[in-house]
Amino acid sequence: MPASTDSTVDVGNRVVLFVTTRKDAEISARLLRSAGLPSTAYFRGADLAAGVREGAAAILATEVLLERDNLAALNAVLDEQEEWSDLPIILLLHDGRRHDPAASLLQRGANLIILERPTGMQSVLSAVQAAVRARRRQYEARAHIDALKAAEAKAREADRAKTDFLAALSHELRTPLTPVLLTASEALTNPELDQNSRDAFHVIVKNIGLEARLIDDLLDLTRITHRKLKIDPAALSLRATLRDSLATVRPEIGEKQLTLVEKHDMADAVVMGDATRLQQVFWNVLRNAVKFTPPGGTITIHTRRDAGNVIVTVTDTGIGMEPEEVARAFDAFAQGEHARRNGSHRFGGLGLGLAISRSLVTMHGGEITARSLGRGKGAAFEIVLPAVSDLLPAPPAGVALQPARSRALRVLLVEDHESSRETLRRILLARGYSVVIAGSVAEARTVAEHDEFDLLLTDLGLPDGSGHDLLRELPPRENRLAIALTGYGMEEDIARSKDAGFFAHITKPLRAAELDAVLGAVISALPDPIDSPRN
C-alpha cells in the first residue's frame, strides 16, 4: 500500500518515492514539499509499478529498488513507456552498492541518476528538481505530439469528407446530364434533322461534354492528390493518339478559323501508355492552345525524336504568358493574369487541365514544360515521352476483327431518375431491344422473379439499396450480363463494380455512341442462339 503524503495533487507531476521505511518516506516528502514538489511513497515493487502507471514526474529510490522482484516490476513499467516518455530515476546508493542491478538499468538505457550515500539533502533536492524539469519538457513534447496527431486526424477526416463530397457532387451533377446528352447525341444521328436543329443539338452535346470534363478534372485532381490515379499502359501509336486527341478539338479550331499546322520530323513511334490518359494530356494542351489563341491564329503540332524519347510540341500564336505565369502554368487552379482582367473570367475553366496533364505525363515517365516570350507572343508546351520502337507490331496473319453479331437483347433497366430511365428506355426500344423498367431494387427483384433477361442495366445508387446488392440478389443465370450505369466514376468505384461481377462500368453522362459500343460488347460476349425481342 502507498503512503500518500500529497493525495490531492496531479499524479503526473508528483515524485514517486520507493524507500525502505515510512520514516525515510516522511523525511523525503518534507524535503520535496519545501520545494513545492508533491510525492507519494511506495514500499512494494507491485505498488510502485501501479503508481508509475498512474503517473509520475520522477522516481526517487534507495537500494531496495534493486532487489529482484522490485527491479522486475520497474523494468516492466519502463518497457511500457511511450516513445515520448523517458522517466527519470534518482537512485541513492551507499558506497559499494553500485552493483550489477544498477548497471543493468544503465545498460538498458534507463534515465538513471545515481547519487552516492551519504549525500547532502540539497544535492538530492537539486537532482530531483532537474529531473522534474526534464520530465515537464517531455510532457510538453507529448502535448505537441498529441496536437500534431489530432491535427493530422482532423485533416484526414476533412480530406475524406472532401473526397466523399466531390464523389457525391459528381453523381448529383452527372445524373441529370445523362438524359440530355443521350437525347442530343441520339438526335444528331438522325439524317432527316434540319441544319438549325442539328446545330442546336451540337451545341448541347458540346457544352454537356465540357461540363462533364470539369467534373472529371475535379475527380482526377482528387485521385492524384491521394495517389489513387492509376494508368493501364500498353503499346500505342503516338500518331494515332495525337489524331484521336486532335479530333476532339477540330470543331473548335474550325469555329475560331484557326490554322492548324502539323510538322512531323519522324516516322510514327510507339510509346507505352494509357491511351485514354495520354489522349487526355494532348487534349488538354491542344484545347489550351485553342482557348488562348485569337480567331485567325495558328496552332502548330511538331513531333520529333531525341535519343530514346519522342517530343511533341504544341505552339500557338495566342496571348502568351509572362515569366511568373509560365512558372505556375502547371499549378492547380492557376489561370494567369488573363483570367482576372477587370475581375472577369474571360476564358472559363478551373485551371486544372495542365496540372492534371503534368501528373499524367510524370506517371508515364515523361516531362511536360511550358515557355513563352511574353504577353502577346504565344506559348509552347513540350511533352517528352519515352519511345519503345518505331512501329507497332503487325497483327498475326489471318486474324480479322469480326463485326458484332446482331441480337435483340432483353434488358432489365433499373434507374430511379425518371428522365434518365425514360430516355434510356426509348433509345433501347428504338434499337429493337426488349426493355422492362424498374425504379428500385425491390421492383427489379419482383420483375426478375417473373421474367428472364439477357442484360441488367442498372444504376448503382438506388433508393432502397445499391446495384451491387441487386446483382447479388438476383437468381443466378449463366447467360446474363450486367452493366453498372452511375455517376460514381472513381477507381475504387470501378474496381468495386468489377468485383461485384459487372461486365462494364459506365460513368454518367454518356452519349448514344458510348451506349451502342458497350451494348455491342455485350452482344459479342453473350452466346447464341439469338432470341427474338419481346415487345
- Please check whether residue 191 lies inside any domain of the structure: yes
- Please check whether residue 154 lies inside any domain of the structure: no
Is the domain of 477 the same as that of 497?
Answer: yes
CATH classification at residue 471:
3.40.50.2300
Is the domain of 238 the same as that of 384?
Answer: yes
- Please check whether residue 131 lies inside any domain of the structure: no
Is the domain of 287 the same as that of 384?
Answer: yes
Is the domain of 192 the same as that of 215?
Answer: yes
CATH classification at residue 351:
3.30.565.10
Is the domain of 518 the same as that of 448?
Answer: yes
Residue 393 is predicted with a pLDDT of 47
**Dihedral over Cα of 167, 168, 169, 170: its sign:** positive
Residue 98 is predicted with a pLDDT of 53
Is the domain of 222 the same as that of 254?
Answer: no
Domain that holds residue 371: 234-389
Is the domain of 224 the same as that of 244?
Answer: no
Residue 535 is predicted with a pLDDT of 38
- Please check whether residue 302 lies inside any domain of the structure: yes
- Please check whether residue 221 lies inside any domain of the structure: yes
Tell me which residues of the chain have a pLDDT lower than 70: 1-9, 95-100, 107, 226, 333-350, 389-407, 528-535
**pLDDT tens per residue, range 461-483:** 899 999 999 999 887 777 889 99
Is the domain of 533 the same as that of 417?
Answer: yes
- Please check whether residue 273 lies inside any domain of the structure: yes
- Please check whether residue 377 lies inside any domain of the structure: yes
Residue 383 is predicted with a pLDDT of 96
Residue 53 is predicted with a pLDDT of 93
Percent of the chain residues past pLDDT 70, beyond the cut: 88
Residues 66 and 523: their CA atoms lie apart, in Å, by 82
3-state secondary structure 468-501: HHHHHHCCCCCCCEEEEEECCCCHHHHHHHHHHC
Residue 167 is predicted with a pLDDT of 73
Is the domain of 13 the same as that of 59?
Answer: yes
Residue 189, judged by CB atoms within 10 A of its CB (0-12, 13-18, 19+), counts as exposed
Residue 389 is predicted with a pLDDT of 58
Is the domain of 305 the same as that of 201?
Answer: no
- Please check whether residue 51 lies inside any domain of the structure: yes
Is the domain of 336 the same as that of 431?
Answer: no
| Structural domains of the chain, count | 3
Take residue 226 and report the three cell numbers written for it.
491521394
How many CA atoms lie within 13 Å of 501's alpha carbon, on the beta-carbon side?
16
**What pairs with residue 131 in β-bridges?**
none
Is the domain of 253 the same as that of 221?
Answer: no
**DSSP assignment of 316-362, as one string?**
E-SS---HHHHHTTTSTT---GGGGGGG--TT-S-S-HHHHHHHHHH
Predicted TM-score (pTM) of the model is 0.55
